[in-house]
Amino acid sequence: MAKGEGIPKTNPSEIENLIEQMIFGKRTERYQAKKAEDQKSEGEPEKTRDGQPRASGSQQARSELSSIEGGRRPGKKGHGRRAASGYSGAKVVNCRHEDLKPGDACPDHLCGGRLYDLNEPKGLLQFTGQPLITVTHFKRELLRCAKCQQRYVAPLPEGIKDERYDATCDATIALMRYGGGLPWRRQVGLKAMGGTPLGEATMWERCEATADAAMGIFLRLKRLAAGGEVMHTDDTWVRILSCLKEERDSGLLPGARPKEGL
C-alpha cells in the first residue's frame, strides 16, 4: 500500500466543531433560531468556519423559528433508544462459542447444514454501579531468614506502583468536587457508604497534589492564551434593560440621542 492510502481525509472545520462541542456543548435550538433570525434580517446565509454556506442548519433553524412564531412547538428529535456506538466508554467483551465455530455442522441433526459467521454479533449493554473510589488491599507475603533475620517481601502484581493513592483516585476526587460540584461532606458520606472512607482533609491534599502536577501545563496554556486574538463575550441574546438604558443615554446605541451638554 502506498504511503497515505487508506487514511480518510478530515475537514479541519469538522475537527474544530467537534472540539467546540466537547468543550462548550452543543448549540441549543433557541440559539439556532436566534441565529437564523439575525441572518434573515441581514440577508446572509449561514457559513461554516471555512467559509462554505451551510444550508441544512440554517433551514432547520428558520423552520424552528417560524414554528415558534406561529404558536406551535417544533417536534422533538433524538428521544429514541441510544445506539450502542454512543457508549464510547463501554468495556467491550467478545463472547465466543465454546463448542461451535464457523464451518462446523449444524447442531440440529435433522438440518445437515454448515455454520458460518454473520459478522453481526448480538449485543447486550449491561450497566453496573460502583463506588466513586475503590480500594484494593494487597497482602504481600513476607519471609524472614531464621539466621540473618533478613526480610523478603513479595513483589506487587505487574503494572501496580508502590503508592497509596493512584492517579485515577486523585483525578476522580478533583473531578467530582470541581467538575461535578459535589461538596466534600457529601463525598465523605458516599465513600463511607461504599466502604471506602476518606476524610475531607485527605481529599483536599489529593486535589492539591493533582493541581501541582498540572501546574506546568496550566502555565503553558496561560502563556499561549495571552497571545491569542479571541474575544470572549456573553452568548445570551437577552437584553439587559438597565445596560440598554445606560447605552442609550450615553449615545452608544445607533440612533440614540445624546444628552444635552455632552
**pLDDT one digit per residue (tens) for the chain, 262 residues:** 444 444 455 566 777 777 777 777 666 666 667 767 766 665 555 555 555 555 444 455 556 556 555 555 555 665 667 788 888 888 888 888 888 889 988 888 888 898 888 888 888 888 888 888 999 999 999 999 898 989 999 999 998 889 999 999 999 999 999 999 999 999 999 999 889 899 999 999 999 999 999 999 999 998 888 887 776 666 677 777 777 777 777 765 555 555 554 4
Q: Is the dihedral of CA 62, 52, 48, 233 positive or negative?
A: negative
Alpha-carbon dihedral 107, 113, 117, 122, rounded to 10 degrees? -50
Write down the domain spans for the chain: 17-71, 131-227
CA neighbor of 159 nearest in space, from 136, 186, 179: 136
Whether this prediction's pTM lies above 0.85 is answered by no
Contact (CB, 8 A) for 132 and 176: yes
Distance between CA atoms of 134 and 194, rounded to whole angstroms? Answer: 8
Residue with cell 467546540: 20
Contact (CB, 8 A) for 167 and 178: no
Contact (CB, 8 A) for 189 and 133: no
